[in-house]
């Protein structure tokens, strides 16, 4: 009896997958990789957006406080109050304003604005990819 089963099953070959199965598996793997990449991109974008917008008031306060403590408003008020003195001493006024510029506040505010612009540019560049992920 055992020999009969061996003879019957020896003629059977293992089932072969259909012709398009391998392609469908590879396509499903690629879709999953694209989905993961898009998810990472979306979370990275949202993180950058939150950080850049959350940092905006702080960088503006730093810049504002440094401008107020630098004396630039005094120089501008003096120049506006006495035009004749300003025109005769305009080089000295300009140098005084340049020397008292708050470099650290300007750098922090500029970096924050650049981060906001770069994040928005990233969103506009990849928006269809992100919208496709959100819709699916």
Residue 106 within a domain: yes
Residue 71 within a domain: yes
pLDDT averaged over every residue in the chain: 81
User: Which residues span the domain enclosing 120?
Assistant: 60-136
Of 18 and 43, the one with more pLDDT:
43
CA distances from 11 to 2, 16, 17, 18, 84 (A): 15, 15, 18, 20, 110
Residue 26 within a domain: no
What residues contact 55, with CB distance under 8 A and at least 6 apart? 112, 115
Cα 130 to Cα 93: distance, rounded to the nearest angstrom: 51
Residue 8 within a domain: no
In this model, does residue 114 exceed pLDDT 80?
A: yes
Residue 133 within a domain: yes
Residue 66 within a domain: yes
CA distances from 122 to 19, 54, 114, 118 (A): 41, 18, 12, 6
- What pTM value is reported for the model? 0.61
Domain count for the chain, please give it: 1
Beta carbons of 100 and 86 less than 8 angstroms apart? no
Section 12-41 average pLDDT: 77
Residue 108 within a domain: yes
Q: Which residues of 36-73 are buried (b: 16+ CB within 10 A; e: fewer)?
A: eebeeebeebeebbeebeebeeebeebbeebbeebebe
CA distances from 104 to 65, 66, 135 (A): 11, 9, 43
Residue 28 within a domain: no
pLDDT tens digits, residue range 56-112?
999 999 999 999 888 888 888 888 888 888 888 889 888 888 888 889 999 999 999
């Amino acid at each position: 009896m055992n020999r009969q089963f061996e003879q019957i099953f020896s003629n059977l070959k293992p089932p072969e997958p259909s012709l398009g199965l391998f392609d469908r598996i590879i396509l499903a793997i690629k879709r999953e990789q694209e989905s993961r990449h898009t998810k990472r991109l979306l979370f990275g974008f949202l993180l950058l957006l939150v950080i850049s917008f959350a940092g905006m008031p702080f960088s503006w306060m730093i810049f504002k406080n440094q401008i107020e403590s630098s004396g630039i408003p005094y120089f501008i008020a003096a120049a506006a109050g006495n035009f004749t003195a300003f025109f005769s001493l305009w080089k000295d006024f300009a140098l005084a304003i340049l020397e008292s510029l708050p470099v650290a506040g300007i750098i922090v505010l500029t970096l924050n604005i650049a981060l906001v612009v770069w994040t928005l540019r990233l969103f506009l560049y990849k928006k269809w990819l992100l919208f496709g992920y959100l819709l699916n």
